[in-house]
Structure 1
Amino acid sequence: MFESDTRESMRVLPRIIQPALTWITGKPLDANEPCLILPTVLDVIVTFAFAVGNFVFLVWLAKKETVVALPFIIISWLFLVGFLRKMQVTHLHHAIHNRLFASPRLNRLYARVLPSLIFVQNGIEYRKEHLEHHNADIFTTAHDADAAFLAKLGFIPGRERSELWMNLWMTVASPVFHIVFARARLGSIFLRNGPVETLLALSVALGHIALIVISGWKIYAIAILVPIFLLYHISALLQFLTEHAWNVGDGPVKNWNEYKNRCWGRFCGETFPSRHRQSHSDSAFAHATLVCLWAAKMILVHLPVRVACLVADLPAHDWHHLAHMAGQNSRDWTRSLYLRQTAIVDGDKPNFSRRELWGIYSMIEHQFIWLQSIKCTYSLLDTKKSSNVEEFALDSGEQK
């Protein structure tokens, strides 16, 4: 499912729209392309401010009774989810790596405060699980918290690709999935958090209750429940699912070659239709139709994925794991999209260009083909060993 030259196919488009295409796709056209980067502190402030503004806008839209408000509500949902995900998977992520701010104290403070504001896993648990994720002995195995989470949901080696697709649709539509996800988030914040952080979370929870009392359940559902819980869970699931080559039935990676093969770049877009690839009998109208279809898919499919799922530096997440192989420093994460392209031009020692997935469908399909290809045997649940079905999901795949 890996593709090459997808971004290069867009070179024929006007130069004025190339920066926008770089942002949408997550991949620069050239290594020396001007970087569109906000200073980190400003980025944190702007992201939080836009999230608050988006929430206020949703409250205002929810009071409208006209159908005209619905498209704006959907668009606002996508942006709010994107801002919240960016706070966690970009800002909080790099804060626990001590790389968000220059001050370690500020990084620790952000990691303590943010989870209580948006109800995500507390900073202590997140730090422990994520730093273990980087450990070569744990990376993508059953001991990896992300891999274990997916395995509990049924995304395990040996299942047929069609079963995995069905499992995905059933999961995102399942109230049980959303309840379990929400319970895990709230439990981490209210039951396993520090006292100060818990008090902060309780004050935010009072704000939620006040919104329900003052404005009613309809406005709460539109402004909070759907984007901050339901859509947030779907975004997180798709992000985790496509991030690495997960295999809870396999052991630790044996070397850096195996490690890098479990990483890849994920980009939002598809090959631009070229006249040179069509027969001479194709009319200008036919080519124009293909271009319009490409533009529609870029706007209606790939752009929403970039806005609400693969936010900020996530397209180049493989660079985060492999920057050292290119002689680069992962502390320079704000330029990761551009440094990844520089590494490709400079010889591509990490083989970034050979592992690029384009479009959310290809990302999911690639993961499912990978899981299906792993030959596994399964045993019945040993009730003496575990009375928890979720634990059984972790132990049910044994690689031959």
Structure 2
Amino acid sequence: MPNIDLSPKVEVKCSLSSESRTSQTDYRESMVKLPGFMQGLLTWVTGKPLKGQLLQTKTPIYHLAMVLTISIVGTLLSIFAVLDRGVWLLLLLPGWIFTVSGARQLQVVIVHHCAHANFTRNRSLDRRLGQIISTILLFREFDGYQQDHIKHHADPSAVDDETVKFLRLLLGIREGMSVREQWQRLWLSLVSPIFHAQFLAARLISSLGSTSVTHRVLTWSSLIIVLTMVTLSSSWHIFLIVWVFPLTVLYQISTTLRLCSEHLRLPPLKDNARRDKQSYGQATVGIFLGDPVPDFTLPFWSQLQQWFWWYLRLALIHIPTRAFILVGDCPHHDYHHRHPNGNWANATVARQQDIDAGCPSWNEPYREVAGLWAAIELAFQSISQQEPVVIAQTNEPVHKLYTVSAEEG
């Protein structure tokens, strides 16, 4: 298990004003000293705006256009790398990252908010868009996902919640298990061919074997057309490298790491009780990336060394994590659960505005962690603190138990 420092964790009280929002761990404000042309990138990477920073208002169509652009760029980079080979093979890594990021944002952002009828605000249009994307990318049938997602919002710690079942059945992570063992199971799963085969099989079964005849017919038709085109063009090696590998193994690694950090586990409800706002607010945390900038008062050579490492971590850790795992509005998932029909397209600003406004009708404070690994550690701690749950035998189809590849949000 990695040595995780949880010291960056901080509670942001809802009474904070915009003038007093900076805490000793709010390292985003330390970046105000950096050049103005970097601030947009830093806001995206960290998931936090500077105090008083003016940001362009984004629309749902903007997000859809960006996701499609990212997907196209990733595909083109990968194709170029495969065809030209040599040193250009180095472009495969960013190509794969872009491809996975685009695919996951289509689910985590577009399909997810379509399920809330909060993408175009037109329920019928959102449903059609969600169905089209789910069919083309072999996601689970949209209507079934939407129904289960509504239950997920009612209680993300429920025994039959898709994420809870994923952790228990595919990763073997169970209540009462030590944090160390949970980390071990996570790392072993990420490199396990059996895990990836089971995950992929569940994705394919849930899509190609959907109970919806329309979804099943359209999905099979799309798949047959693609495979026929690949065969006729004799481009199987390109197809496998550019699409199949990133959208199976890499996509599943990304999804797994996100699901492990998505929610904190709460004690199970008894009888027909419902989550109150206090416990509901405790189930999610904001996850923010980045490091405090080096101290400008340090001697020149010490400062130069620290700046080197700061930029290296930004380029090799924080940007890839944001693009590959914490995509879209994932850093602000706590805001989404408080306001599922809120201003998700501008969640970076909307979350802070909610804090500055005193979190109307919410007494539970927003909580934050610095970094993905700290978020996973915190989630694992919450699981280890729960009493083991005895699950009755079920005849539920395996694809219903494992279908979580499209269940984020």
Question: Which bin holds the TM-score, normalised by the shorter protein?
Answer: 0.7 to 0.9
Secondary structure of 1:356 counterpart: strand
Question: 1:144 is matched with which residue?
Answer: 161
Task: State the TM-score, normalized to the length of structure 2.
Answer: 0.83
CA shift, 1:191, in A, is 1.2
TM-score, structure 1 as length reference: 0.85
Root-mean-square deviation over aligned CA pairs: 2.8
Residue 15 of structure 2: aligned partner: none
1:13-65 C-alpha deviation (Å, 9 max, x unpaired): 233322211011111112x4222344322432342244134324423322233
Q: Indicate which of 288, 312, 318 corresponds to 2:328.
A: 312
The answer to whether the 8 Å contact 2:140/2:207 transfers is yes
1:122/1:189 contact within 8 Å kept:
yes
Asked if the contact 1:269/1:358 (under 8 Å) is kept, the reply is yes
Aligned to 1:242, which of 250, 261, 270?
261
Any stretches of 5+ residues in structure 2 without a counterpart? 1-5, 11-24, 403-409
Tell me whether 345-354 or 10-19 shows the greater mean CA deviation.
345-354
Correspondence for 1:356: 368
Partners in 2 of 1:286 and 1:18 — Cα distance? 24
**C-alpha distance in 1, partners of 2:262/2:208?**
28
2:55 is the alignment partner of 1:39: no
The alpha-carbon distance between structure 1 residues 386 and 83, as it changes in their structure 2 partners (threshold 3 A), is closer
| 1:203-282 equivalences in 2 (<5 Å) | 203-206=221-224, 207-212=226-231, 214-246=233-265, 254-275=275-296
CA contact (8 A) 2:278 2:363 kept: no
Match among 287, 298, 303 for residue 319 of structure 2? 303
Task: Point out which structure has higher relative CO (alpha carbons under 8 A, 6+ apart).
Answer: 2
Residue 351 of structure 2 corresponds to 340
Q: Give me the whole-angstrom Cα distance separating, in 2, the residues matched to 1:195 and 1:223.
A: 30
Moved over 6 A (4+): none
> For the Cα contact (< 8 Å) 2:73–2:98, is it kept in 1?
no
Structure 2 counterpart of 1:326: none
**How far off its partner does 1:101 sit?**
0.8
User: Does the Cα contact within 8 Å between 2:172 and 2:185 map onto a contact in 1?
Assistant: yes
Match of 1:398 in 2: none
Amino acid at match of 1:357: V
1:11-26 to structure 2, matched below 5 A, reads 11-26=32-47
> Which SS does the other structure have where 2:342 is aligned?
helix
Structure 1 contact 35–335 (Cα < 8 Å) conserved: no
Correspondences of 1:1-400 after superposition (within 5 Å): 1=6, 2-3=9-10, 4-30=25-51, 32-66=52-86, 68-135=87-154, 138-152=155-169, 153-206=171-224, 207-212=226-231, 214-246=233-265, 254-275=275-296, 283-323=299-339, 330-348=341-359, 350=362, 355-374=367-386, 376=387, 385=393
In the alignment, residue 356 of structure 2 is paired with which amino acid? V
Deviates more, 1:94-103 or 1:342-351: 342-351
Deviates most, 258-267 or 193-202: 193-202
Return the letter of the residue paired with 2:53.
E
